[in-house]
Amino acid sequence: MPDPDRELAWPAEDAGWWDGFFADRARPVPFFTIRPDENLAEWLSEGLIAPGRVLELGCGNGRNAIFLARQGCDVTAVDFSERAIAWARERARQAGVRPEFRRCSIFAAQVPAGSCDLVYDAGCFHHLPRTAARTTSGSLTAP
Ligand SMILES: C[S@@+](CC[C@H](N)C(=O)[O-])C[C@H]1O[C@@H](n2cnc3c(N)ncnc32)[C@H](O)[C@@H]1O
């Protein structure tokens, strides 16, 4: 029998749960939009971050990865939901850009230490225990 506390606290640990979440693309979910995060767009337009090598964790439908690729970034984007990655790949094809979308857990992404200029997360880490999030991102960015 499912433990209701665990279900409430950590449904997002489960790729199957997210596949169900992404099953209906027409649902009124804020991050089902095709627009990138406003803060990310601002940071680029204001020169606070420059185009470079980006790893996006939990990329969903690829809206930020696709935006970053259009800005000239070399993007690797990871998500463990098959449906999210399928949607992201479709959207990238339509947009004419080629971020590398990997369907895997962020804990299995195998990204060499120091190989990214930016690790971007929008809404993935807050589903995870803090220590797990820190371990994942800490050593990936170039010094
Ligand atoms: C709130 S959604 C945000 C999606 C996207 N970042 C956006 O802003 O549009 C969280 C995403 O993280 C993914 N996710 C959660 N835990 C994950 C894990 N351990 N490994 C890979 N992806 C994960 C989910 O499949 C989902 O697409």
Buried b / exposed e along 44-67 (16+ C-beta atoms within 10 A):
beeeebebebbbbbbbbbbbbbbb
Q: What is the pLDDT at residue 1?
A: 43
Element (H, E) at 79: strand 74-79
- Give residue-wise pLDDT tens across range 35-59: 999 999 999 999 999 999 999 999 9
Classify residue 109: in a domain, yes or no.
Answer: yes
Q: How many domains does the chain have?
A: 1
What separation in Å is there between the alpha carbon of 81 and the centre of ligand 1?
8
124 lines ligand 1 (CB under 6 A): yes
Q: Which domain holds residue 109?
A: 49-143
Tallying the residues shown for the chain, one arrives at: 143
Classify residue 13: in a domain, yes or no.
Answer: no
Q: What is the DSSP letter of 17?
A: H
Instruction: Give, for ligand 1, the residue of 124, 126, 130, 137 to mutate: max count of ligand atoms closer than 8 Å to Cβ.
Output: 124
Residue 27 has, within 13 A of its CA and on its CB side, a CA count of 11
The answer to pTM > 0.75 is yes
118 vs 31: CA distance, rounded Å: 21
